[in-house]
Amino acid sequence: MRLIINILLVLGIVLGVYLLYSSIQEPIAFNAEKAKREQAVIEKLTKIRQAQEMYRNITGHYASNFDTLAYVLKNGQFMIIQAFGDPDDPTNTEKIQRDTLLKPAKDSLLVLGWNVDSLRYVPYGDGQLFTIQADTMTYQSTLVDVVEVGVARKVFMGKFGDIRFAKYDDSYDPNAQLKFGNMFAPNTAGNWE
């Protein structure tokens, strides 16, 4: 009888140690995984923001979907205007000359090492896509272009995409979006900045 009690006590201690270890390990694992996954998504959103700026330099507007964004960046051209002579120099007596050059946008993609077709996919998202919106709005009596691209945290957080993990981070909301831009203001800042 005493042997059975000792075995049960040892099993109870082992179970207690395991539960204690798990309760300490879970918040550490959550915070490490959250940092890693959010950093990967932020890097992808930064690339998408740069791609949207490139698209805007070509077309004058932001892309409202990834197919259009990819097509224009593969087939569009940047207009580069070179000025010969200094238009700001008051002593300049020479005529200012301008020359327009066209440079393929895909050359910039090659330099950056981007596959523009894969920008749409959320890292750790199992094939999920970023949401993308673009439009124009009137801001301070001026028509301006606006863009917003983002994804809810629960899409890329995997098993940690549950509200119960908010107990380890007060600011964590799996339904909140990690995004850049704003459909109600001409702003392309990311909400992580």
pLDDT by residue (tens digit) across 41-63? 999 999 999 999 999 999 999 99
- Which portions of the chain are predicted below pLDDT 50? none
pTM (2 d.p.): 0.80
Residue 176 located in a structural domain: yes
Residue 109 located in a structural domain: no
Residues 171, 181 contacting (CB under 8 angstroms): no
Boundaries of domain holding 171: 2-75+119-181
**What is the number of structural domains in the chain?**
1
As a whole number of angstroms, the distance between CA 35 and CA 139 comes to 35
Residue 54 located in a structural domain: yes
Residue 67 located in a structural domain: yes
Residues in the chain: 193
pLDDT of residue 47: 94
Residue 87 located in a structural domain: no
pLDDT of residue 18: 79
Backbone angles phi, psi at 47, to 5 degrees: -65, -40
H or E element at residue 40: helix 2-59
